[in-house]
Chain A
Amino acid sequence: MAIESLPNPALPSRSGPSLGFLTATPIIALATICLTLVILSAIFAPWLTSHDPQLLAPALRLKPASSEYLLGTDAYGRDVLARILYGGRISLLIGLGAAVTSIVIGLFIGLFSGFFKLADAVMMRVMDGLMAMPGVLLAIAVVSLSGATLTTVLIAITIPEIPRVARLVRSVVLSAREEPYVEAAISLGSSMPKIMLKHLMPNTVAPLIVQGTFIAASAILTEAILSFLGAGISPETPTWGNIMAEGRAFFQVKPSLIFWPGLLLSIAILSVNLIGDAARDALDPRMKQREAGK
């Protein structure tokens, strides 16, 4: 029998990761549905409510729920439902943006650190330093100094996430570069960029998809914390954290100002985390061992 005809189980399939894990168990399926609903309600917010989330109406302040205002109004007479629907846009945008940005930067740093020993020593000390700073403190400091815009909030949330990606990519690269196919590529004289992009980077795809979902969940949470502490995007912009921050003063009068956005925020983060867990089980079985053995 010709050896070449034997199937090689080590080769990843060409078709790419399947999305079947999104319905692996009833709970994961529920999480997928919840997240889809949250995303759709954020995208189609203008069609789901006729109220302007920023329109001030002092005469209508702190009205209870009614058929006109399904969740009532806040301290400035704005429709709470409209603010919550529009608020989802910022949260999801930050979650996606932070995941993509930190993965792009972390991938770059991780590939170089894993490949060049000299760069590794320096980069990993920098990453250790970044990881030592509590993420929320670092983020509120960055935002307060550079002004609270969507971009600065995104940057502030992304910085503490970069070391996690860089370390993950580095560990994958360190084990992959010992593989015979990488040694073969090196001895055949392949160029450095080609080895990195063609032979090393594909190994990082599955763990990065998993890590990306966890980063998205953590970024949504951090954005809400920043807004809640008063150090996030300016208060008139509806975000879940901002609605809750304004609700703090009226908590004893109208607790729903905190509970509704809090509920949606929790559902969104919970769904993303559950999907991340399912993705890890489906795409990256080795990750569990890495986590347990570090």
Chain B
Amino acid sequence: MTLRASGDAPLVECRGVSKRFVRPLDLAARIANRFGGDMRDEVVHAVDRVDLAIDAGEVVGLVGESGCGKSTLGRLAVGLMEPSEGERRWRGTSLAGLPPAAARELQLKMQMIFQDPYASLNPRMRVVDIVGEAPVAHGLIRAHQQTEYVGLQLNRVGLDPTLMRRFPHQFSGGQRARIGIARALAVKPEFLVCDESVAALDVSIQAQVLNLFMDLKASLGLTYLFISHDLGVVRHVADRVVIMYLGRVVESGPAVDLFAAPNHPYTQALLAEAGSVEARKRTFVPIRGEIPSPLAPPSGCHFHPRCPHAMPRCRAEAPPLAPIGPGRMSACWLNEPDADPAAQ
């Protein structure tokens, strides 16, 4: 992902970030180990040495199935979580070791819009406080300006400002999604991470919210990391697409090229499964197997147990993410010149 068109430093960059969740051994296991047991900490590599660079004004779609680490990567990118390894950069400067005041100010530039419009709004707060709390707390506006300011924010996302004294439960799902967007935009961010932000919405409402995202991008010059499992949505909004499988990036590239000619077998399988309205009665060809547990990922390439082209090498060694074309990268041994898919 270091291959980029522009020479400027990317707006947001994650370099070799990993996130491990560890469950330490309990007392019984530690005692068992004392007596020669072989118990280890349970470690989940939610994100495993991922590089991600997003240019200003770009929309990057992050795609994967549940448990692949896409939400964790989104949270790392926005700074909700500290990476176990690797560093984050904003416009080329490392975010590690910044003085707290500067870090807080930078943090305002990055905001997140969450998946569940029901769970991400405090049910006991009025909309005016949900949207207006952060700008007041961070000194962007004075407390007496809050009503007026929130009115502007609500207008921008297509909500009636006269509803600002209401509570979240008085709104429909689509309206709640808009409140979540207004809250994120209220602190004037430059970078938004949208984590499955339209997944819970009906199709007709989803179209309205996606249009709103694109209007806001045009009017405010926003940069998005758009996390979704819905390939149709990602194909529509994203300039560039990153595909994750079990904590690793398996393929990335410009959306048009990637959807036209997916390289990695997993991407190919995903695209084959993705339903389309165009399709008439068709035969579903299932991809084999289950998504493995991230607690015990397969050796070598994580996808090999489900891959139709798996070779002995795939079981032993994890393929590196290597360039395969202009702006495109893929992690698959099949792209090696000496690869022989016939060899089982």
Decide whether A and B are members of one complex. Answer: no
